[in-house]
Chains A and B, each alone.
Chain A
């Protein structure tokens, strides 16, 4: 499954227009963070790359779900990933840098079944959680850490739902590690 750049770029345009479907718009969050130390930009850039990967995966994978409820969930998660990418891009700008754009395409393998698609999404969510947990103690901006924590919490919720669809425990540990 290869996500075309056009689909992802279209998603990015949608984000700029409506800020995703969440109750809190990315713009409000970024405004609340007054300053982002330039030294935090490399870590934020890595997180943005992973958000772009997740957007590509949900964009390409959502139509493969046959269940109405699973397709609705995937659409919602895509909206939320778009909101995250807007948030992280805003933080990078506040750090005085230009956020990177999504790649032309992403090699997402060849998931053909619901199970293979869930495995792919599970792996990507896990990778994101691990990256946020790595970044949070290392960014120096006091206001940046809660912003990243708020996104981490949402990624953990995505993983809970995906695990439940895989008939695994949705909340297997008291401390989320990204290895679940």
Chain B
């Protein structure tokens, strides 16, 4: 697979996304299209906002676990230079997810959850959602990439569930875009683990993750 975007390109896209969100007043990710002409994009009622905030709070708490998993993999010293490069690019995208979800929570008036307070806590969050891999027992590149596939499955599950519970049209679109991104991350990581084996990197017709 060819290289992902450069860090400079990612930063530029993140800035563009933030500018879009500020102008449209709708939570926006990279390339987000405002749904201003859609009646469902009107400001939701307070109860709906509260419910959306609760959903996104859970999503963010799990995204922060995912970010920690990526950091553990990058800091492990077990990744080859090629894997290190790819994993760093994917982590940058996870940071974008965190940024956008955190911004949405701010607009909804919902406090953002803190990052995991310890590796043990992150592990408990992963395990509670049937995620696999260990934050502490990393001895090889495969261990690290395995942890990332487990974390990605949990992230997919969080966005998949959110699609059934969110109300605001802009948030629904953002969650769908992030779910698709996490699905691509799974494909890229499985591609590092099993080069050329598409049965492993695109295993199912339905990306639902785990929860």
Please state if B40 and A138 are interface contacts (CB–CB under 8 Å): yes
Please state if B205 and A73 are interface contacts (CB–CB under 8 Å): no
Q: Which residues of A sit under 8 angstroms from B110, Cβ to Cβ?
A: none
A133 to B38, CA, bound (A): 14
Please state if B176 and A149 are interface contacts (CB–CB under 8 Å): yes
Please state if A169 and B198 are interface contacts (CB–CB under 8 Å): no
Q: In angstroms, how far is the closest chain A Cβ from the Cβ of B9?
A: 9
| Interface positions of A from 133 to 180, Cβ below 8 Å from B | 133, 136-138, 142-143, 145-146, 148-161, 164, 167-177, 179
Please count the residue pairs between chain A and chain B whose beta carbons lie under 8 angstroms apart in the complex.
192
Please state if B201 and A149 are interface contacts (CB–CB under 8 Å): no
| Interface positions of B from 154 to 176, Cβ below 8 Å from A | 156, 159-161, 163-165, 169-170, 172-176
Most buried by B among A73, A150, A153, A173: A153
Q: Which residues of B sit under 8 angstroms from A136, Cβ to Cβ?
A: 163, 172-173, 176
A169-B5, A174-B29, A177-B30 known; A150-B208 Cβ under 8 A:
yes
From B2, B165, B187, contact of A161 by CB (8 A): B187
Instruction: Indicate whether A129 reaches chain B with its CB closer than 8 angstroms.
Output: yes
Q: In angstroms, how far is the closest chain A Cβ from the Cβ of B162?
A: 9
Count residues of A near B (Cβ-Cβ below 8 Å).
Answer: 55
Count residues of B near A (Cβ-Cβ below 8 Å).
Answer: 64
Please state if A151 and B191 are interface contacts (CB–CB under 8 Å): no
Most buried by A among B2, B173, B177: B177
Q: What are 18 A-B interface contacts by the 8 Å CB criterion?
A: A23-B203, A137-B172, A142-B164, A143-B164, A146-B160, A148-B176, A149-B159, A149-B176, A152-B176, A153-B156, A160-B188, A164-B191, A170-B187, A173-B13, A173-B93, A174-B10, A174-B14, A175-B97
B residues near A (Cβ < 8 Å) are 1-5, 10, 13-14, 17, 29-33, 35, 38, 40-41, 89-90, 92-94, 96-97, 100, 156, 159-161, 163-165, 169-170, 172-188, 191, 196, 198-199, 201-208
